[in-house]
Amino acid sequence: MKELRDYREEIERCVRCGTCRSVCPTLDTVRRESHCARGRLALIEAYLNGEELGERYMKYIKECTLCGACYSSCPNEINTPEIVLSARAEYVKKNGLPPLTTFTLKSLLEPAPLTKLALRVVTKLKGLLFKSTSFENGLVSRFSLPVVGEGRLVPEPADPFFLDRAHIRAISDRKDYGKLKVGFFVGCGINYLLPSIGESTVRVLEQAGINVVVPQEQVCCGIPALSMGDTRTAKRVMSKNLEVFEQYGFERIVTSCATCGHTLKSIFRVVLGNEPGMKERVEEFTRKIRDITEFLVDELDYSGQKGEKKGVVTYHDPCHLRRFQGISEQPRRLLEESPYEFRGMKNPCRCCGLGGGVSLTNYELSMKIAERKAENIKRCGADVVATACPGCIVQLKDALYHHNVRAKVVHVVELL
């Protein structure tokens, strides 16, 4: 991964035009220059010119959702999200991570029995730690819990986890591939919290003639660690996934998580591409990655069952799908094939506020960003909100719960 100083030339391309100010969800919420790409780049430049990298400076760097809206609108193509990731990595290299973050990353991102144990304890103690709500069958934290905070609506942990289910274990090395040899990269959101997305992905692919393989040894994609500035852990889990998926010789690797998809397609290059002997392996791997909506529409020409419509569905564009992968038409095409009538919402590609770890580092800011999204969903009047990222689903459910908007939130693939 490039060092922060290697971005100096790119940072100096900022002509302070302010175009990024009109699209940044954090500036729109906080209304301070420090909370847009121009302000963040100015702070990083000051640091490169010798100013101290203190906690106050880091607050602004940590409160970037990495949504990429600035990058897509910048006339000089400055990749602020990548520069922000590098600034976070530089800070962690110098100052280390808080012990709780180190513990959480270690236990969640690597195939540690601790993750399972921690989530099982949460399941057992859920009556004590959380209130149940009929809203989306979620749990609401009663007091300020580590990682979760207070008052947040979270999905009940999967029981068993997706990768531990007997029928998923049974297809971890199947030989009857069907049309194409395709692997499924699951990701933590689906594995630990929203296994129904994984079940739907396997079902829809099988209906389309693909007997997908789900490698058991896969681990987290690495982006949570990288977002926290922990490059070492990110590198380790990314290398592990590369090794696991290489062994199978897949023709395609499909994911139903927009964030995992962006990480596997692009961030792998940033983190591992310049490591000795890795360039070609990484290129070969990233070339095979497909988002499920992209794969179904572009390569399998998927068509659903036409029939009577049950209600209205709208669509939220995950930043990591629309901006970073250029995928926006495919999920909408699939929704036209679903048993719902499609109705667009205002500003569907505005960030939901979850990204960049902001929902963990500043939950209040993250929820304020999500408020506008909840209003747009309410105005649209849809019964169902579909999206293509488990992280966005968790965030949207929480935002709709807090604003009493009774729309169900699902992944596109669950409606097929």
Rounded to a whole number of angstroms, the minimum distance from the CB of residue 302 to ligand SF4 is 32
CA neighbours closer than 13 Å in the CB half-sphere of residue 268: 28
In the complex with ligand SF4, which residue's Cβ is closer, 219 or 365? 365
Q: How far apart are CA 271 and CA 161, in angstroms?
A: 28
- Of 14-22, 146-154, 305-313, 322-330, the segment contacting ligand SF4 by CB under 6 A is 14-22
In the complex with ligand SF4, which residue's Cβ is closer, 66 or 292? 66
* Identified binder of ligand SF4 from the candidate list 1, 4, 61, 64, rule CB under 6 A: 64
Euclidean distance between the first and the last CA atom of the chain, given in angstroms as a whole number: 39
Rounded to a whole number of angstroms, the minimum distance from the CB of residue 241 to ligand SF4 is 25
* Identified binder of ligand SF4 from the candidate list 43, 44, 58, 74, rule CB under 6 A: 74
Q: Counting beta carbons within 10 angstroms of the beta carbon of residue 306, is it exposed (0 to 12), middle (13 to 18) or buried (19 or more)? A: exposed
Q: How far apart are CA 140 and CA 155, in angstroms?
A: 9
Which residues inside 77-106 make contact with ligand SF4, applying CB under 6 A?
Answer: 78, 80-81
* Identified binder of ligand SF4 from the candidate list 66, 190, 254, 382, rule CB under 6 A: 66
Residues 6+ apart with CB under 8 A from 327: 291, 293, 294, 321, 388
Rounded to a whole number of angstroms, the minimum distance from the CB of residue 30 to ligand SF4 is 10
Q: Establish if 238 lies at the interface with ligand SF4 (CB under 6 A).
A: no
Q: Establish if 70 lies at the interface with ligand SF4 (CB under 6 A).
A: yes
**Which tokens belong to 225?**
């660690």
In the complex with ligand SF4, which residue's Cβ is closer, 78 or 228? 78
Helix segments in 170-262, DSSP class H = 188, 195-207, 223-227, 231-248, 258-262
Rounded to a whole number of angstroms, the minimum distance from the CB of residue 67 to ligand SF4 is 4
Q: Establish if 29 lies at the interface with ligand SF4 (CB under 6 A).
A: no
Q: Counting beta carbons within 10 angstroms of the beta carbon of residue 68, is it exposed (0 to 12), middle (13 to 18) or buried (19 or more)? A: buried
Q: Establish if 20 lies at the interface with ligand SF4 (CB under 6 A).
A: yes
> Angle, to 10 degrees, between the axis of helix 231-248 and the axis of helix 80-95?
120
Rounded to a whole number of angstroms, the minimum distance from the CB of residue 82 to ligand SF4 is 10
Task: Give how far Cα 414 sits from Cα of 38, 62, 202, 303, 354, Å.
Answer: 39, 33, 11, 14, 21
Q: How far apart are CA 230 and CA 376, in angstroms?
A: 35
φ and ψ at 16, to 5 degrees?
A: 60, 30
- Of 33-41, 186-194, 234-242, 290-298, the segment contacting ligand SF4 by CB under 6 A is 33-41
- Of 71-79, 86-94, 132-140, 370-378, the segment contacting ligand SF4 by CB under 6 A is 71-79
Q: Establish if 18 lies at the interface with ligand SF4 (CB under 6 A).
A: yes
Residues that bind ligand SF4 in the complex, under the rule CB under 6 A: 14-20, 23-26, 36-38, 40-41, 64-70, 74, 76, 78, 80-81
